[in-house]
A and B are shown apart, each in its own frame.
Chain A
Amino acid sequence: QKEVEQNSGPLSVPEGAIASLNCTYSDRGSQSFFWYRQYSGKSPELIMSIYSNGDKEDGRFTAQLNKASQYVSLLIRDSQPSDSATYLCAVRRGSQGNLIFGKGTKLSVKP
């Protein structure tokens, strides 16, 4: 089982819809969880961090964490074509400082 798994996509949603991106992780001791956005040809950019169970909202973005199910998700409300990018999930295992990255989900928002 891979440490951090994401559906590679592409996930296609119409403009204005909610995009839902999912990530599962294998290490139950994982402590910190991150979502990065990566535009084609650019570097990953941190958009959300979440450390405890529940929801965390920042503008149009909501991160959701369920440690019992080892599941973290990112919701993007009112999706815009400018949200079209690859979204990387990253997890910090409890015993280490390093992050483990998923391979990313490619999101396409159609006008």
Chain B
Amino acid sequence: NAGVTQTPKFQVLKTGQSMTLQCAQDMNHNSMYWYRQDPGMGLRLIYYSASEGTTDKGEVPNGYNVSRLNKREFSLRLESAAPSQTSVYFCASQDSQAYEQYFGPGTRLTVT
């Protein structure tokens, strides 16, 4: 069992470039989440998908889009990267009965 996987692990972008962060889980969970984590700010929810075919905004959705490709995969897209999006991004999936969330290893993104 791989759990939650994320690619890439590291990325450097120039302002205005676009990219997609990929996330996949093999735990058959319905719900998946994208967070960003910045020093002193804790984990902040960007977008989530409660089930295949649905997505909803979290606390900090501006500048991001998401796609729930199927039950396993949930991607996060930055259309025009900004330095303020420099952060560590975590994907998580959630057990629908116990509500336990399991995190991927993260993507460290730097926007210059």
Q: Which of chain B's residues has its CB closest to A103's CB?
A: B42
| B101 at interface by CB-CB < 8 Å | yes
Looking across the interface, which residue of chain B has its beta carbon closest to that of A90?
A: B101
Tally of A-B Cβ pairs under 8 angstroms: 45
Q: Is the CB of A43 within 8 A of B90?
A: yes
Asked if A97 lies at the interface with its beta carbon under 8 angstroms from chain B, I say yes
Interface residues in A27-54 (C-beta closer than 8 Å to B): 31-32, 34, 42-46, 49
Q: Which of A1-59 contact B (CB under 8 A)?
A: 31-32, 34, 42-46, 49
List, in ascending order, chain B residues with CB within 8 A of A102's CB.
Answer: 42
B102 near A101: Cβ-Cβ < 8 Å: no
Residue B19 at the chain A interface, CB threshold 8 Å: no
22 A-B pairs within 8 Å (CB atoms) are namely A31-B99, A32-B98, A34-B99, A34-B101, A42-B105, A42-B106, A43-B103, A43-B104, A43-B105, A44-B103, A45-B103, A88-B43, A92-B99, A97-B94, A97-B96, A97-B99, A98-B33, A98-B48, A99-B94, A102-B42, A103-B40, A104-B42
Query: Which residues of A pack against B, CB within 8 Å?
Result: 31-32, 34, 42-46, 49, 88, 90, 92, 97-99, 101-104
